[in-house]
Amino acid sequence: MENREHIKLIEEISLNAWPSHKIELYDGWLIRFSHNYTHRTNSVEQVGVSGIPVEEKIHYCEQMYANYHTPTHFKISPLLDPDFDALLASKGYETQHETVVMTMPMTDYRRLEPTYVEYEYYERNSGLPSSVFYEGGAVVQMRDRIYDEWIASVFRFNGTTNPTLLRIVPSMFRAIPKETLVAYIEGDTGILGLGLGILDRGHIGLYAINVHPNFRRKGYARAICHAILGEAAKKGAHHAYLQVVKENHKAKELYRSLGMADDYTCSFRSKVVNK
């Protein structure tokens, strides 16, 4: 029971941390739509008690996503009855994306101490440092809000060029209702690496950890994670969590070096068409 409550909390604060463009609450199910930006923000997630027959609900969700001209995705977490996963499989849904949730109590955090911390005033009162210096030359800049250049760099790193996504995703970032710790490393050509921490109920979530392909293997992602976690600890965070694609072994190796451990796995079943 304790583990179930733990998973429920992580899933709930993850929903707070990553809003969708549109959300419909339908009989205990959240129908999330974001023009297929990510599986997480464009899938059905069960959050409450249902009364409508499940077959009817699945059909309704399929109609909704058909109206949006995107595939139908259902998020499968350990909180769901395994029979629901089997039902989707019988209806032609395939598992196309698996995510590992990694967590740690902050008592397990293997903190990397900065060599120097600089504070400047940029019309803010969050208490965050402006720059955190680490051995090896990485200098992590920090802000207390997401700004345009940071979002543009996210698009640049993941190759997003779709005009609709370029229009709606910035509003999704800005709709995050929780305290944010925005981190980035700059170079002569602009932002070289970035990350986002989101605080909620004593938990710090790591999101959007990314480094430009030309500047990887320089310790930038590690420094960004440490800058976020270090400041979150000062703000009272007692647990940390993140979600990483199951096959991303390099990233998981980095996160384990921080003290993170695999906790549970979520998957996304997607409707198979034209087979």
Residue by residue, what is the 3-state secondary structure of the chain?
Answer: CHHHHHHHHHHHHHHHHCCCCEEEEECCEEEEECCCCCCCCCCEEECCCCCCCHHHHHHHHHHHHHHCCCCCEEEECCCCCHHHHHHHHHCCEEEEEEEEEEEEEHHHCCCCCCCEEECCCCCCCCCCCCEEECCCCCEEEEECCCCHHHHHHHHHHHCCCCHHHHHHHHHHHHCCCCEEEEEEEEECCEEEEEEEEEEECCEEEEEEEEECHHHCCCCHHHHHHHHHHHHHHHCCCCEEEEEEECCCHHHHHHHHHHCCEEEEEEEEEEECCCC
Q: Are residues 56 and 126 in the same domain?
A: no
Q: What is the pTM of this model?
A: 0.94
Q: Are residues 95 and 120 in the same domain?
A: no
Tell me, yes or no, whether 233 lies in a domain. Answer: yes
Tell me, yes or no, whether 274 lies in a domain. Answer: no
What total number of domains does the chain contain?
2
Cα gap 172→41, rounded to integer Å: 10
For position 127, what pLDDT does the model report? 84
pLDDT 10s digits, 32-45: 999 999 999 999 99
Domain residues for the domain of 215 are 104-263
Instruction: Collect the ranges in the chain with pLDDT lower than 50.
Output: 1, 275
Q: How far is CA 116 from CA 36, 119, 132, 140, 193, in A?
A: 41, 10, 6, 11, 19
Tell me, yes or no, whether 275 lies in a domain. Answer: no
Q: Are residues 95 and 171 in the same domain?
A: no
100, 119, 148 - which closes a domain:
100
Tell me, yes or no, whether 36 lies in a domain. Answer: yes
Tell me, yes or no, whether 125 lies in a domain. Answer: yes
| Of residues 53, 3, 10, 11, the one with CA closest to residue 30 | 11
Q: Are residues 154 and 172 in the same domain?
A: yes
Q: Are residues 65 and 156 in the same domain?
A: no
Q: Are residues 116 and 249 in the same domain?
A: yes
Q: Are 147 and 199 in contact (CB under 8 A)?
A: no
Tell me, yes or no, whether 259 lies in a domain. Answer: yes
100, 124, 146 - which closes a domain:
100
For position 47, what pLDDT does the model report? 93
Tell me, yes or no, whether 269 lies in a domain. Answer: no
Q: Are residues 19 and 121 in the same domain?
A: no
Q: Which contacts (CB < 8 Å, 24+ apart) does range 210-217 have?
A: 210/154, 210/157, 210/158, 211/157, 211/185, 212/156, 212/157, 213/157, 215/187
Q: Which two tokens stand for residue 257?
A: 């070096």
Q: Are residues 141 and 54 in the same domain?
A: no
For position 126, what pLDDT does the model report? 75
Q: Are residues 74 and 111 in the same domain?
A: no
Please report, for the domain that includes residue 239, its CATH number. 3.40.630.30
70, 85, 100 - which closes a domain:
100
Q: Are residues 138 and 154 in the same domain?
A: yes
The rounded Cα 241 to chain-centroid distance in angstroms is 10
Tell me, yes or no, whether 196 lies in a domain. Answer: yes
Q: Are residues 115 and 199 in the same domain?
A: yes
For position 137, what pLDDT does the model report? 92
